Amino acid sequence: MRRRPLLGLLLAAPWATPTLALPAKALVFPRDHGAHPDFRIEWWYITGHAQAGEREFGFQLTFFRFRVESTQAMSSGFAAKQLFAAHAAVTDVQGRKLWHDQRIARSSGAPGLDLATASAQDTVLRLRDWSLRREGEVYTARLPADEFALALQFSPTQPLLLQGEQGLSRKGPERQQASYYYSMPQLAVRGSIRLKGRSFEVTGRAWLDHEWSNELMHPAAVGWDWIGMNLFDGSALTAFRLRRKNGLALWDGGSFRSTEGGLTSFSQGDVQFSPQRQWKSPLSQASYPVEWLVQTPAGNYTVKAVIDNQELDSRASTGAIYWEGLSELFDSKGHRVGRGYLEMTGYAGALRL
């Protein structure tokens, strides 16, 4: 019998207090680049495209933090008051293959004992031998793995983007289903990607999301579909939907920021995801739509996965199997206008956070 991951064991207990609606508030930087340990779930998420000559790669790295409510009153330096997990992946476009790895560790807050730490002042994250930190305006990520490694820097080329209503993003029909959420599109990428012992010096474009919440999903939601797309003209498109078991949307939203900087935030009912082509995973037997028609107030787009098999098995850390991969964006005339990441959760089983 497969062992249940540590995360699932420690988060199985019910929450000690009911979830309340998040208040609208002004996000303050650099403090809000850092961790928010009083919130139940948080993640820092970077995806992008990188190139070394004719060789192309997609990459993603995500650091998760989970508050364990049942241990907060414990005084032991070994109490798991926070759990940290991280995922990393490289899509080798020419090789038609996805490489991925994961980490998990607990944090008690006791000096010198933790294998995972997160600053509350700015983005300074460490999970075993993986790290993400922000110094000045530049993010540096170092994630060595067995068959690949990421050593990348990300520099802003645009102001950060507050999602939803000035950073408060609704995720469901009840007001407590919301998150504080900002993005940093069009990050300039440089650094190296190592794949099976060979190192590639790369440049490219990336997208960063930072999100924290107490209740992200309505009980009727089984997962979500999300895109973050850097358009070649400098604009940025976000679109998402929370999905019911029958495949219909429970909630949707997103935003579009133009080249000139004008921001359009999408309201519930503005976004429609229509699947166009399916791929069935030989690992999980889940069927994923790897091509979508996405209709938004900013225009209608087609999203196509660069390769079909970009499914990640994270059962050893967060307990989920999901699809997350490099994809291309086409306008209504069929012109390729951007590139970014598509994420699909809840297809191999209902997602539980």
DSSP class of residue 148? E
Q: Is the dihedral of CA 87, 88, 91, 96 positive or negative?
A: negative
- Check if the beta carbon of residue 74 is closer than 8 Å to that of residue 63: no
Is 168 domain-assigned? Answer: yes
Per-residue pLDDT, 5: 47
Q: Angle 32-166-261 (CA atoms, 0-180°, nearest 5)? A: 105
d(CA 351, CA 329): 26
Q: Place 353 in a pLDDT band, splitting at 50, 70 and 90.
A: low
Instruction: Reduce the DSSP state of residue 281 to 3 states and report it.
Output: coil
- The predicted pLDDT at position 7 comes to 47
Residue 310 placed within a domain: yes
> Would 349 be classed as within a structural domain?
no
| pLDDT for 80 | 79
Q: Is the pLDDT of residue 124 over 80?
A: yes
Judge contact between 222 and 184, C-beta under 8 A: no
Stronger pLDDT, 74 or 50, i.e. the higher one: 50
Domain count, the chain: 1
pLDDT averaged over the chain? 92
pLDDT at residue 216 tops 90: no
Residue 89 lies in a domain: yes
As a whole-number percent, the residues of the chain with pLDDT over 70 amount to 93
Q: What is the pLDDT of residue 336?
A: 98
Q: Which domain holds residue 161?
A: 29-344
Residue 152 lies in a domain: yes
Q: Which tens digit of pLDDT belongs to each residue from 150-207?
A: 999 999 999 999 999 999 999 999 999 999 999 999 999 999 999 999 999 999 999 9
CATH number at residue 216: 2.40.370.10
**Within a domain: 7:** no
Which pLDDT score, from 0 to 100, does residue 77 have? 63
pLDDT tens digits for range 56-93: 999 999 999 999 987 777 766 667 789 999 999 999 99
Q: Strand, helix or coil at 6? A: helix
Residue 166 in any domain: the answer is: yes
Cα–Cα distances in angstroms (integers) from residue 192 to residues 128, 182, 198, in the given order: 20, 26, 10
| pTM for this predicted structure | 0.93
Q: Tell me the backbone φ, ψ of residue 70, rounded to 5 degrees.
A: -70, -15
